[in-house]
Structure 1
Amino acid sequence: MQNWAGNLHYAAQALARPATLDELAEVLADGGPVRPLGSRHSFNDIADTTGTQIQVDRLDDGRPAADLDPDTGVVSVNAGLRYGELSRALQLQGRALASLASLPHISVAGAVATATHGSGDTNPSLAAAVVGLEIMTTRGELRRITRADDPEVFPGAVVSLGALGIVTRVELETMPTFDVRQDIAVDVPWDTVLDSFDALTGAAYSVSMFTSWDEPAVRQVLFKSLAPAGAQRPQPVEGLRWSTVPMHPLPDVDPVACTDQLGVAGPWHERLSHFRLEFTPSSGAELQTEYLLPRRHAVAAIEEMRRLAPQVAPLLQTCEIRTVAADDLWLSPFPEDSVALHFTWHQRDTEVAAVLPVIEDALLPLGARPHWGKLFALDPADVGALYPRFGEFRALADRFDPDGRLRGGYLARLLG
């Protein structure tokens, strides 16, 4: 079996998709290495094992897949549910999530475990919405960990990289539903981006910039604005030129898979993601890398990438620049307000692998941390050193999985 992009063939010997908690416990009781597997959207082997991969997308624990508490607004979600499916269920009940990733096709537990994120100066990662988890350990014990009841453990258990057990349910904060409009400014001069970065990213609820770094201007700046009655498109700086046709984030690609643009307001779940759930958004084979840096170094990071454009641009489909708010989770790459540089590469494995150390040499001095589920070159020991509470996380993993059965693929190299 392979991952979503087809760049990785798993070493796992078996795939289990238990339908009940008892079946999940039976799989775990068999012994041997195991790893949780989400929607297979990781580009490295963080979900791999030499034993059995476990997906919970078929798991039925007797509760609704998206069980909303109307009094608290907390929704308890089947961990294998995709965000697109969850968001539709919430919209029907008049509720929303504060943020969504660009793809609605990813599973809730997988996105949370790797600190996947959307965009917005005030929007933290998807993991920040978590208030509780239910986890079955490798010894078959079902445990519930909440922010309220387990404050010493909870911040280490959310972005867990699948190191603690098989997450069966995730509890998320929700908010009242809201509408969003999307507007695209095209060919925004680099001087405008560098001089007015805060004005641009603060002009809408969520903002994404798309570039190949060697272009004379930023190809697109996508503004996702809250859209109460009479809302207008943002005007952060003078002289922006607005697209009058829908656009795909990749140059010269049909935007049919994209969510509605051109200022047409619609519900949050049909706008916050870049792509529609019913479409496969990829233009074909691709690789992905992402580095997360302190927001205070955003301009310096952009200048470094422009300097590297001759080496980077020939391998790129596009690069997306986003902002993400801070959270308090131990292995979250967002200990402070951050900027994200997300690279979508052509599937030229050897060449991409060769350029990653060059990028890291430029960005690591600025505080960059790699996304857990993407491609990067940094040695696992050096990655762990980027997280002040990594030692506590390792101890937590030892507690939950004392036999080390979950330590496969990249996780084995990270934890040793």
Structure 2
Amino acid sequence: MSSDRYYRFAVSVAKHLLGQESAFMRDSEQSEVVHMHGSDDTLFSLDMTPFAAEAAEVSALPFFDDVSGVSKLLSAYQSAKQSLTFENDLPDAKRHLSDYADDFLTALLARANAALTDQQARTIADWVKHLDIYCAVKCVESFLYSQADLKLLEIAPRYGWDVIFDHMAIRCGSQEHDDAERVANLLKKKHGYVSTQFSGEAYYQFPDGWNAYPVYKILNNGQVLRIFVDQSDADAPSQIIQHWNRVYGYTAHHVGIRATQLKAGIRTAVPLEDVMRALVQEGIDVLTPTGHYTRGLLLQVFTRPERNSAIPAALKAEIIAHGAQLEKTIENAKLLELVSRRELMPPQAEAYFALYGLTYDPSNPHHSAPVYQYFLPAQAAHVIKTSQHIAG
């Protein structure tokens, strides 16, 4: 596939942004890049080039399309998980996991079997069936554990919102064992994901001891899938990610969800504040949002992490030996990320989907075309800080 068309599209988007808002600054050498200052006057660079890929099948649909209740949801989940290679099928992926990692997953499935309603099961299935098998499996696990995730799906129709998948993060172990590299390669070789065609978005290194590989995929229904594969640095024994991986395995650290709506035939982002307010009214605690300096290109906020007090004492003692601060943060099992991304106007959205051989349909909720496709390192770093939040 030619990269020229992605570049030309990016240049047109960057030019539009620069003409619309003075907060964005041009790059003297790269016409597809814009810059902006953060709240502390840090300069950020945003490359507007979409990732290059061929649209793939909606592989979760055959498994989740006829779910009528809890038992069928759990059966569909197991069938989907067995149909392709996942992390635990790889020879070295489980070497540093605890036995409790399996118990954790077994317990959340058992809890769902006992407490989930058939209506909730249908709500989950109706949402994940529009994804691929990998994301559907991880999202089912997330919805079964996190009340915040499921609550947003349940209340969205009341507001006329279309809630769509934005991204998820998979917490791996340590770079000492190439844990994230192994999972990123699995996603690319077995699940059809790609890295971006430009180096700046292929790998992130963070100063506080962790790194990540973002990978991407677009489905032929228009749904874009973003996965953030993260791990601790080899020389950072107290960094939290490797310990979360040991306790919780490869369940998603968080799922990022966005709400959009159709107004006068134009798909627009639901303001992040509106989504936050709706969840607070449902008793879901929401933390401090970030990203306002992006002028709506990428806003995010997290719900209060779901706490898990069932970690075996012996396992917790082994983890605390790496740092006293891990005693409480290791119990932060899961959080929901709420995201808002500004949408392209219809002519640009049509051009965006044409890159993938798709015809833009604004009435299709999966035909969301954000102006900016990726993550910002400063906001990605905010994820880990938020994930370690402890209620006072």
TM-score by length of structure 2 reads 0.26
Structure with more of its chain in strand, by fraction: 1
